[in-house]
């Protein structure tokens, strides 16, 4: 090829590089940018005229900072590399709007025929879509479950049917949701179900336990930080809100959030913008919040431990998860499903619960809720080898509780009076077991156990009344 032909092709060089899908910049040895293609404009948000003649520090690449600091003779250690290249560097740039862009970068030094350095060329590949895809795959793997479950939740009781209906309605809204429930009731499963049923299901589902971190770390996790924002901030980090853009953020145990962080969270909910720690550039985010707590936020507001304005902001669609003791009719179904899962996992020939073990399960109050039930069955699978799970296979505290209950059992001659009192209370309460328990001065679990013991059919009691 003649020199004239080379010059002719060079005239078309800007058009050639603009056809590239990835970003490209040409950098002089002093660090100034002399060329950038359209993909680089699109990826960073800067126009070409804002890039040309600027130092490459414009993009605030976190990996480049170390390379520049360790160089002694040149702008960057790239120019000191014998082979004149760096390949496959995974790093993060900061766009013009302040948002973080994960990229894969390749760089090569350009030299003339005499070996003199002319500059460097860098190509940049956008990894944001790949990271979103990876998060989606991880999320889907968590959500998969048996067909007979409502997004991982098990229960056919009326109270759980109402929860399922409210979940479906909440999923059709864009308003904030807060899930109230004791520890172990399945609040995370509810949050996942809302996400999967919503129009945001193709977006990310990002979660954070507010009780797991101190104030400074919590703010960094929520809103992100820039390199050097505090000791240990060695690189840029996007926050959970940015990661949840286009989807949901699930803030578990929000009642444990420090008051200063509550102020910043309220500002994000009101402005739909976040500012990373160490930076003051507002970043727009499109995120729907789902919160959860096992605390009484109303009482916390009265005690000045939770901000009233934030409470009103997140308490738009409240969902109350019942404790397991208030839906004891679901215990056999839950136990059966958990046993099937444990059989698959352990490959043990366990066939189910014995009648006596089931009776213990139905009389126990389950203060740890579904989580405690699962733990009890996992213990039984360690002890039992095959066949039915017997009382002797259960944890000691369940057996101790059953022994205490046995001591308090009513003598046979008083059974008829107990049954009559139960029927009368059920009639008065219209079949509502919680109200029946209040009338009798016992727990809801006791009401359920007595209904089973006397084989009382609620529909007949209500119809007669």
The pLDDT tens digits for 76-106 are 666 666 566 778 888 888 899 988 888 888 8
Q: How far is 240 from 334, CA to CA, in rounded Å? A: 33
**Are 313 and 269 within 8 A, CB to CB?**
yes
Q: What is the pTM of this model?
A: 0.66
Query: Mean pLDDT, to the nearest integer, of 380-393?
Result: 94
Of 221, 245, 241, 251, give the one whose Cα is nearest residue 233: 221
pLDDT score recorded for residue 454:
79
Region of poorest pLDDT, from 146-160, 334-348, 364-378, 402-416 = 402-416
Selected residue with higher pLDDT from 62 and 352 = 352
Sign of the CA dihedral 147, 151, 155, 159? Answer: negative
Region of poorest pLDDT, from 53-67, 233-247, 301-315 = 53-67
- Does the pLDDT at position 380 exceed 80? yes
pLDDT in tens, 270-308: 999 998 888 888 999 999 999 999 999 999 999 999 999
Pinpoint the alpha helices (H) of 70-157: 128-143
Region of poorest pLDDT, from 188-192, 208-212, 322-326, 445-449 = 445-449
**Summary mean pLDDT of the chain:** 85
**Are 19 and 8 within 8 A, CB to CB?**
no
Of 308, 298, 290, give the one whose Cα is nearest residue 249: 290
Query: Mean pLDDT, to the nearest integer, of 336-357?
Result: 93
Region of poorest pLDDT, from 82-96, 282-296, 374-388, 390-404 = 82-96
Tell me how many helices (H) and strands (E) the chain has.
Answer: 21, 16
Residue 29's pLDDT band (boundaries 50, 70, 90)? confident
Query: Mean pLDDT, to the nearest integer, of 360-388?
Result: 94
In DSSP terms, which residues pair with 350 in a beta bridge? 387
pLDDT score recorded for residue 65:
53
- Does the pLDDT at position 190 exceed 90? yes
Coil vs helix vs strand at 54: coil
In the numeric block, the tokens 């797991």 are attached to: 212
| Cβ neighbours of 140 (radius 10 Å) | 11
Sign of the CA dihedral 198, 204, 209, 215? Answer: negative
Task: Tell me phi and psi for residue 433, to 5 degrees.
Answer: -70, -30
In DSSP terms, which residues pair with 277 in a beta bridge? 225
Selected residue with higher pLDDT from 460 and 110 = 110
Q: Which helix (H) or strand (E) holds 259?
A: helix 259-271
Residue 449's pLDDT band (boundaries 50, 70, 90)? confident
Of 20, 17, 19, 49, give the one whose Cα is nearest residue 33: 49
pLDDT score recorded for residue 146:
47
In the numeric block, the tokens 């969270």 are attached to: 265
Show the tokens assigned to 206.
Answer: 């990002």
In DSSP terms, which residues pair with 91 in a beta bridge? 103
pLDDT in tens, 147-185: 457 888 999 898 999 999 999 999 999 999 999 999 999
Pinpoint the alpha helices (H) of 82-186: 128-143, 158-171
In DSSP terms, which residues pair with 108 in a beta bridge? 85, 121
Of 456, 386, 397, 388, give the one whose Cα is nearest residue 427: 456
pLDDT score recorded for residue 143:
47
Q: How far is 70 from 323, CA to CA, in rounded Å? A: 59
Selected residue with higher pLDDT from 55 and 134 = 55
- Of the spans 192-196, 280-284, 451-455, which averages the highest pLDDT? 192-196
**Are 31 and 55 within 8 A, CB to CB?**
yes
pLDDT in tens, 122-137: 999 888 877 776 666 5
């Amino acid at each position: 090829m003649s020199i004239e032909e080379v010059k002719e092709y060079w005239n078309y060089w800007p058009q050639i590089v603009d056809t590239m899908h990835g970003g490209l910049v040409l950098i002089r040895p002093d660090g100034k940018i002399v060329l950038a293609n359209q993909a680089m404009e699109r990826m960073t948000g800067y126009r070409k005229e804002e890039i040309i003649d600027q130092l490459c520090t414009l993009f605030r690449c976190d990996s480049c900072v170390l390379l520049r600091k360790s160089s002694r003779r040149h702008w960057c250690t790239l120019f000191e590399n014998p082979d004149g290249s760096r390949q496959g560097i995974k790093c993060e740039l900061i766009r013009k709007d302040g948002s973080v862009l994960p990229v894969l970068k390749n760089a090569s030094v350009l030299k003339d025929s005499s070996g003199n350095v002319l500059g460097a060329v860098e190509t940049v590949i956008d990894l944001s879509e790949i990271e979103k895809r990876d998060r989606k795959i991880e999320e889907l793997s968590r959500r998969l479950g048996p067909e007979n479950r409502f997004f991982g939740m098990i229960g056919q009781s009326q109270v759980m049917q109402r929860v399922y209906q409210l979940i479906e309605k909440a999923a059709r809204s864009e308003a904030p949701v807060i899930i109230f429930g004791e520890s172990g009731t399945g609040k995370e499963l509810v949050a996942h179900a809302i996400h999967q049923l919503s129009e945001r299901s193709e977006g990310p589902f990002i979660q954070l336990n507010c009780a797991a971190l101190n104030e400074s770390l919590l703010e960094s996790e929520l809103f992100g930080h820039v390199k050097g924002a505090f000791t240990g901030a060695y690189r840029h980090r996007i926050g959970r809100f940015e990661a949840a853009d286009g989807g949901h953020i699930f803030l578990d145990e929000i009642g444990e959030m420090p008051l200063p962080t509550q102020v910043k969270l309220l500002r994000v909910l009101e402005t739909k913008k976040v500012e990373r720690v160490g930076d003051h550039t507002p970043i727009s985010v499109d995120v729907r919040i789902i919160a959860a707590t096992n605390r009484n936020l109303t009482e916390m507001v009265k005690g000045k431990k939770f901000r009233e304005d934030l409470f009103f902001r997140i308490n738009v669609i409240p969902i109350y998860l019942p404790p397991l003791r208030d839906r004891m009719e679901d215990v056999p179904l839950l136990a059966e499903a958990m046993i099937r899962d444990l059989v698959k996992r352990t490959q043990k020939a366990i066939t189910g619960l014995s009648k006596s073990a089931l009776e213990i399960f139905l009389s126990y109050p389950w203060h740890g809720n579904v989580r405690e039930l699962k733990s009890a069955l996992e213990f039984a699978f360690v002890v039992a080898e095959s066949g039915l799970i017997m009382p002797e296979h259960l944890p000691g505290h369940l057996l101790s509780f059953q022994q205490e209950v046995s001591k308090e059992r009513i003598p046979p001659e008083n059974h008829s009076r107990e049954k009559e009192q139960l029927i009368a209370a059920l009639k008065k309460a219209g079949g509502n077991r919680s109200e029946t328990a209040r009338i009798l001065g016992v727990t809801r679990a006791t009401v359920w156990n007595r209904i089973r013991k006397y084989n009382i059919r609620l529909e007949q009691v209500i119809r007669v009344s």
